[in-house]
Structure 1
Amino acid sequence: MHNYWARCIGALSLAILMLASCSREPERYDFAVAVAGGPKGWPVWVVDVVFDGRWRVGAGAIDSGYESVPPTGKVSVISNPREAPQEIFARWFSYRTQTFYEIHLTLPEDMAQRVARWYRQYPRRDYNHKLIVGLSGTGEAKVWWKAFCLPCDRDRSKDLLATLVELQHGQEVEGDPYPYVYQTTDYVDEGVIPLPDGFQREEMPPIKSWFSGEQ
């Protein structure tokens, strides 16, 4: 009888632990997202970067940064702490090729465990954490995680830099390049990019003059 009740109590305790584990909310973290484009001579317009199909960040036009290790780009500060993402969808436009690209990236299966470990090893009081997405003008993508040591001055040996997605190639997709004609013309006039194949040089003032009202 004693063994019977011991087994019952043990089974009940295990069930309670499993129920508590299932009902626990996923851990949320305070981090920023940086989106890089380029490299130089291959400017892009980042149309969309969506995480887990639920939240997104903006980026717009980016001229460079993709060539750096890790890429450096426009930083979006997330307003509320987020769970460690598992998937990234990105769509972007290459001014040089007049091409749209899309890609679905799957982050490591143990992403949540990795991020939890990094926040223990690199606590938020001393480190800024950043998820970095690089999108190139030739249709490539890569992803990093970085923890930047705040009190370390120029000593960067204590930073964390982890590659999450090695170089992957996006898929060329349909899209209308006309909304980008002003910026494309400006890039051509400034010598940033050569005249794209099939692009008709419009008789219009450069975009900077157009927005400023100068003719």
Structure 2
Amino acid sequence: MSNFLRIAVVALLLGGCSLVDSRSLPYDAWRLGFSAPNYMEVWIETADVVDVQGQVYRRAMSGNSAIQTPPNNSGDPKGWPERPGWGKGKYVTGADLPKKIYVRWQSLVEPQTYQVAIDIPESTRELMRKKEKVFCAFDGKWITDYREALVVGLAPGGIAKVWVLGPCLPPIEVTRVKAEIDPRGPYEGQSGGEYDTLSDISKAYVKKFGVPYGSW
């Protein structure tokens, strides 16, 4: 476990967990997903979860985030979509609702390595427990749905934005934080400073238009 995560976990445990948070989630598991703006490729070294019981789930997600790289520089990486999707991710099986999410990632267009511990407020967990009736366009029926997914958008400059959403329920923005640079560099300094490879299509976009800092 990295020193950064160890400090975050100890601080959480010393602060204690609210009894309100001890209730079981109303579904089998919640999902953690990641996305990035067009062409702004990232590589997630690790996404670790601390749930409301204080349990740590290391590498709940790693690898590429969801991203679009339209040909001929036809995409627009500025800002975030009005209705972000589920991102690339997986269900955090066995975990209670999240208290904190630690992410270390490589922003390949810069390149730079970032790390952040994202606090998930109780108001977000309340949204994740709340069932709502909604018309689902997918199957044309009224259903009872939960916002069982958290999506983290990662952008250059160390910006991380979080939404909570359900299969048929619209996303709600939860928080926006700015990560710190990990001075060790990629892979905690184990790669000799070498970053993962940026795709040719993203490289061409950044060479022509640059990185739209300040738009996220």
Give the TM-score category using the shorter length: 0.5 to 0.7
Deviations 1:152-210 (A, max 9, x none): xxxxxxx2422211x321111221464435x23x4379624439xxxxxxxxxxxxxxx
Q: TM-score of the superposition, structure 2-length normalised?
A: 0.59
From the two aligned structures, give the one with the greater strand fraction.
2
Look at both structures and tell me which one has the larger radius of gyration over its CA atoms.
1
Aligned length: 156
Pairing partner for 1:168 from 177, 180, 188: 177
In 1, the alpha carbon distance for the partners of 2:177 and 2:125 equals 22
Name structure 2 gaps, 5 residues minimum: 1-18, 69-78, 135-142, 209-216
Letter in 2 for 1:31: W
Q: Percent same amino acid at aligned positions?
A: 19
CA 1:161–1:76 in structure 2 vs 1: closer, same or farther (change >3 Å)?
Answer: same
CA 1:112–1:40 in structure 2 vs 1: closer, same or farther (change >3 Å)?
Answer: closer
Letter in 1 for 2:153: G
Kept after mapping to 2: 8 A contact 1:100/1:173 = yes
Counterpart in 2 of 1:46? 44
Q: TM-score of the superposition, structure 1-length normalised?
A: 0.60
Letter in 2 for 1:168: V
CA 1:41–1:74 in structure 2 vs 1: closer, same or farther (change >3 Å)?
Answer: same
In 2, the alpha carbon distance for the partners of 1:71 and 1:47 equals 22
Matches within 5 A, 1:129-208: 129-149=148-168, 159-165=169-175, 167-174=176-183, 175-176=185-186, 178-181=193-196, 183-184=197-198, 186-187=199-200, 191-194=204-207
**Is the aligned partner of 1:61 residue 2:64?**
yes
* Greater relative CO, 1 or 2 (CA 8 Å, sep 6+): 2
Matches within 5 A, 1:17-28: 26-28=23-25
What do you get for the CA RMSD once the two structures are aligned? 3.1
Kept after mapping to 2: 8 A contact 1:140/1:168 = yes
Name structure 1 gaps, 5 residues minimum: 1-21, 150-158, 196-215
